[in-house]
Structure 1
Amino acid sequence: MAFELETLRHAVRQHGCVARVVVAETVGSTPREPGAAMLVWQDGQSGTIGGGELEHRAAEEARAMLPAGQDRECRHALGPSLGQCCGGAVVLRTEVYDAPRAAALPDTVIARGPDEMPLSVRRLLADARGQGRPCDVQRLDGWLIEPVARPETRLWIWGAGHVGRALAEVLAPLPGMAITWVDTAPERFPDNPPDAITILPATRPEQLVHHAPTDAHHLILTFSHALDLELCHRLLSHGFASAGLIGSATKWARFRSRLGALGHSSASISRITCPIGDPTLGKHPQAIAIGVAAAILSGETAAIGRNDAKDSCA
């Protein structure tokens, strides 16, 4: 687990004052591990520390803390006091963030605790920040230390139709995701898109391809076959980690022919997979999103789709 700093900052921008509740310490059997966190604001919340009565009470207490803006830690025995079956105990740390405080957080490792920072913590931070050594969520001499999450998967979703929306909803909560979502106009996107997604409306989306990192993954599913083809063409010229195209066997055969005519080799074209997701799960937008998410979680991002395309109307 790691501190989802960009998610916190995005929530503060959207909702104002936000409380972050993090599992700081565990003893015995508990729903979640140290570092699991949720964000709470006046009329909502995101993330989870394990659900059940513990989460319900923690959210209520965090919401009550928002006006005062103070931090606190509290130990909860899950069995006796909350009636949860786990039987262990957790220490929850609740911190209230406004925009200035969230902006001031360091972007490598976040440490906080009582009194003056001990030498052990200073040494750990020096190693992590100065020498780039990774560290885990931990307690050290009474201080809570959390590394800041780094995006492990950069994903660009091209298209905000039914499948694009399903993909955004399913993939946005996954840890380590940095999602950029592109379509032709602001009204193409939902009114309340998932937190921490970068929305890019562009009259000519294909012109954004050169802004994408060459290690990004791409899912192409716009309303236009012509735009889909142009995106494939530009990505093949630009470079990418993986690319998936929604479509049928007929569409993909036509695209392979046209991409070949544009000068791309068969080996290069074969790096694009079509259809995306797992066809055995069906064609429902959420089923496609689940298939893509499973591929990402299993580390098979080079095969976010399968090349055993059968005809569909996509």
Structure 2
Amino acid sequence: MKVWHQLAELVRRHDAAALVSVHDVKGSAPREAGACMVVRRDGAFHGTIGGGQLEFLMLDIARGMLERHERPARFVDQALGPDLGQCCGGRVKILIETFGKQDLEDIDSLVEAEEEGEFEVECRLVDGRVVRDLSSAVGDDKGTQWRETHGENRTPVLIFGAGHVGRALVLALAPLPFAVRWLDDREGAFPSHMPANATAVRMQDPAAEIANAPANAVVLVMTHDHPLDMAITEAALRRGFPYVGLIGSATKRARFEKRFREMGLSDRQIRALVCPIGLPGIKAKEPAVIAASVAAQLLQVRERRSSVLNFSRPAAANDKTAL
């Protein structure tokens, strides 16, 4: 969810809205620091901080603040076990803020940054309100009290082929944190309506698509043509993407491996190929089942990559939350 976009839309439509954020977590909790939801005065909301009694309680507080036109932000330090009966047993600090039309200029600046992807803001309390400054514009005299990371961190996905499985996979990835580039060389291959996170491209040069793809992209090959599958997969394996998946059976894999060795690919490069695609143990071949299995596998790849990056990148001393 694009938090600031959603907040701006609700404020424009309903004059006011609240932002409920998980500011800090100690121990076990339903959601991580940075999880949030945007709340209307009537109680309708977008997003989640984990459901259950915690979410119901924070919704009530947010609605009350909106009804009373409260402007100061509120921090709620909440134990999950003894107070709410949630078996997580940890403790969370929730930040609840209200926004009205007088805040739209500030919100819109964050909407603009959000459109570019992930961005960081420096936060401080001024007269009870949270003031957010884009990190690139912050000087030493701003009095930063905590930092937040906003925007969507989407993993790039290249899907070659707009057949039944390709279509099912694009739909399966639609609500997930991926940015899909969907490629096919056939006229009329794509549906008329596309998910917001997918871009359909009439493919002209598969090699150029592989060469120009981000290094952290995941690649899935499922075209209508085996020689084309082979050419795209070979190029992707040579690039060394974190995931190269080829639709097909173990027999197809064996045939492709033989040709890849003849083409000069190393055993290490060939071992990186995922074929068949999807989680082991799921044998059904309906397109929707394959798509669900592959989507879960890509989430595992994304999680592993995120863990490696977080381990290798030291956190700033005053990092508090990511929204």
Superposition TM-score, scaled by structure 2 size: 0.59
Report if the CA contact (8 A) 2:20-2:96 is conserved.
yes
State the Cα distance separating 1:160 from its structure 2 match: 4.9
State the Cα distance separating 1:248 from its structure 2 match: 0.9
User: Percent identical across equivalent pairs?
Assistant: 28
Change (3 A) 1:210 1:24: same
Between the aligned partners of 2:35 and 2:174, the Cα distance in structure 1 is: 17
Q: Are positions 1:211 and 2:220 aligned together?
A: no
- Which of residues 77, 92, 95 in structure 2 aligns to 1:92? 95
Between the aligned partners of 1:164 and 1:44, the Cα distance in structure 2 is: 34
Q: Does 149-158 or 198-207 show the bigger shift?
A: 149-158
Report if the CA contact (8 A) 1:218-1:242 is conserved.
yes
Q: Which protein, 1 or 2, shows the higher relative CO under an 8 Å CA cutoff with sep ≥ 6?
A: 2
Q: Are positions 1:22 and 2:21 aligned together?
A: yes
Between the aligned partners of 1:57 and 1:223, the Cα distance in structure 2 is: 52
Change (3 A) 1:238 1:90: closer
- Which of residues 90, 101, 120 in structure 2 aligns to 1:109? 120
Between the aligned partners of 1:200 and 1:71, the Cα distance in structure 2 is: 45
Cα deviation, 1:82-132, whole Å, max 9, x if unaligned, reads 95536856423346575444215795431333228xxxx99xx69xx89xx
**Structure 1 unmatched ranges of 5 or more:** 131-140, 302-314
Report if the CA contact (8 A) 2:20-2:94 is conserved.
no
Aligned residues: 274
Report if the CA contact (8 A) 2:18-2:96 is conserved.
no
State the Cα distance separating 1:244 from its structure 2 match: 1.4
1:11-90 matches, cutoff 5 A: 20-25=19-24, 30-39=29-38, 47-56=47-56, 61=62, 72-73=73-74, 75=76, 85=86, 90=93
Change (3 A) 1:249 1:85: closer
Change (3 A) 1:142 1:239: closer
Q: Tell me which amino acid in the other structure corresponds to 1:50.
A: G
State the Cα distance separating 1:50 from its structure 2 match: 0.8
Change (3 A) 1:257 1:203: same
Change (3 A) 1:83 1:279: closer
1:75-224 matches, cutoff 5 A: 75=76, 85=86, 90-94=93-97, 99-104=108-113, 108-115=119-126, 143-148=145-150, 151=153, 153-161=155-163, 163-164=165-166, 167-168=169-170, 177-184=177-184, 188=190, 191=193, 193=195, 197-204=197-204, 206=206, 207-224=208-225
Q: Is the partner of 2:125 in helix, strand or coil?
A: coil
Q: Does 48-57 or 23-32 show the bigger shift?
A: 23-32
For 2:321, the equivalent position in structure 1 comes to none
Change (3 A) 1:151 1:79: closer
Between the aligned partners of 1:187 and 1:43, the Cα distance in structure 2 is: 42
State the Cα distance separating 1:243 from its structure 2 match: 1.0
Change (3 A) 1:15 1:210: farther
State the Cα distance separating 1:228 from its structure 2 match: 2.2
State the Cα distance separating 1:247 from its structure 2 match: 0.6
Change (3 A) 1:181 1:84: farther
Q: Is the partner of 2:300 in helix, strand or coil?
A: helix
State the Cα distance separating 1:49 from its structure 2 match: 0.5
Between the aligned partners of 1:296 and 1:49, the Cα distance in structure 2 is: 21
Q: Tell me which amino acid in the other structure corresponds to 2:229.
A: D
Report if the CA contact (8 A) 1:170-1:290 is conserved.
no
Change (3 A) 1:275 1:84: same
**Structure 2 unmatched ranges of 5 or more:** 308-323
Report if the CA contact (8 A) 1:281-1:291 is conserved.
no
Q: Does 91-100 or 243-252 show the bigger shift?
A: 91-100
Report if the CA contact (8 A) 1:75-1:92 is conserved.
yes
